[in-house]
Chain A
């Protein structure tokens, strides 16, 4: 039986935020900063106000002065006094139609006094760098203290640098390299959109392209000073997230605009605004040193990352070291120093994107593992074999997973891979990379089950269907546990007013979270009074860590005359427990890998001088059906999963290792090492020329 929403989606009946209209609804568009860093001298809104259809024009002084954010509260609704990146919201126009609002927004005249700007972490941390925020330590949730470098958002460290330096100095083999990754976008195909309807201080309704309605409700309420319980976030099918839609987006602004104009206000971004002014993935600079003894066993490692967080830190993930971009999740590292610096720059603010930090960090780590193997003189797979964690060992952050199945997964991958022929005249190469990701369920969600007279079951869930198939998985789990046929179960997404809680989709734990609430629901269902609806919830604040390993093998061909690289095949070996829905599971593997392929070889926001030059999809290339390789999957069954459902994570497993697998394969083919992404034909060509 297919997905719960398959027919609706394929026939165009599924409704997304952009498809909704309310009676008397007005439309908003914003005027954005053309400057990377400048004082706002004046804003002339007269021409915009006189433009046809315009209802009102707002600047910072007209809206709530309270900033918003997730961990760090630093983002204004509209720029006050100064702008900090090209694309920042400066003024908002409300008009009768979307076209009229956009037309008028282009007529807002902003007079600037330019300020010195910094675009990279090294520029931003240099002595004498201009302050992007005058008192960054004063923001709620600030991680930096007065006296820290002015543009440092947060520095997380783990371990002792001195001990690691000493161990590396004494190591038989050491590699030390610098790796860099570019800015890339989540690339969901549904532009961000919002409708806010401020009815009264006690009733606000919001339709938003979000995967985390309860969290958004809190953030909107705090920003516009309305009790979050009075704000209702509707449950709307989401047109792709990948980490890009966990923030409140333009909901706080639209709420203010609705409050001021007395009408429902809708704002839908043009995709160029998504690319240039939302929260894409951090570009990273990573310095990595790994030392090994004579037998090729890692003795120490140092991993230092500088993450370009852009002009606001509100939605940059605040993970502690040694996680995120400085994670070494799969190997035994007796001594580890890691340091992650998140730095303000005058560029677009960054946020979460599928496995935050890991695609950058794993590119560096898994490239460096191959570089270390070369220095030692052993096969890349053999180096990994000697260093993969085994069950019973703690990882570098001292966490014990239930089990480690890296070795089995590696052997399964190597056993399954079959060489694919390169075109005549092309060089052939093969590369491997490993990633492992832990998940705790930390379930926090709720459900209402209502029996119908005809023997069907209505199931209400606050969980947003982001596209992963979560509603289908929920139906299947309920069917298994309660004995209803899937055809007799109706899954209905409901608003934040209808059920008490949901943590939002993310961190690869949706299925595990659903499994936990379904367990509770099954028990409550058995004990219920006849024909009564039941509401159940779970809200765990801790959980057991299970890890899931992914071993990738990339096979590439390189045209020695042009540097052009073709990804012939990408094999994913994944360590699995029980799979609830094989097709949905497979699509997470293939889709995650495809996003990794884009990151590795194609996608680039092409940032320079504070501008995102790849500002439309003609320039920002997502992989198409003919850009993707043949995918092969090997499942390594028998793992211990979470809860009675015995499930593990998959959504973020196959994206991070792709870039290193390809870089390692390119090296195998050409003996050229590419340490900065994306891996383009030109980089390979120049490296090969340099070698001659």
Chain B
């Protein structure tokens, strides 16, 4: 065997590639900062995917979204929050740890404008996280819109976190988290002044296309 042939054997011959052996690219994750949730999801929220966060009123949905936003901004990410109900309290969000200077707060005048805003933000690229806070209303919209948003999120590598009272994106969501079993914690009693300490909520991974669904964990939320 000539030296050239030996070298070719060592380095690989042109076109000598066995099809079907390519490894899929590992999915990059955006850590939530909550170790239990990160463990359950396999490292955090998948980047470039739609993640749903569904829960009724006072189930800690906004608190969890704020925790994810806080961890992302503290890690240097630029994020956006589409606030359909104009419900964000800057003081509360700041107290939750969100770096306000890295948070773009968009307050559209309704759900259709919110979806357009999400499309614009995902198209811009560079945002690590876009939270689409649909509030308590959250009427269903066509699958074509979710398909478009999912594609835009994939192109930009942005996590689109949809927080609503019920799941919206259907099959276009890579991960669906449902918040249920809420219990408020109070301290004090008849003789003392009562104080709201926080909420305990069970998070169920109802859908997970890139991991194991059906897992659950309890999230403790404390008042600031």
To the question of whether A and B form a pair in one complex, the answer is no
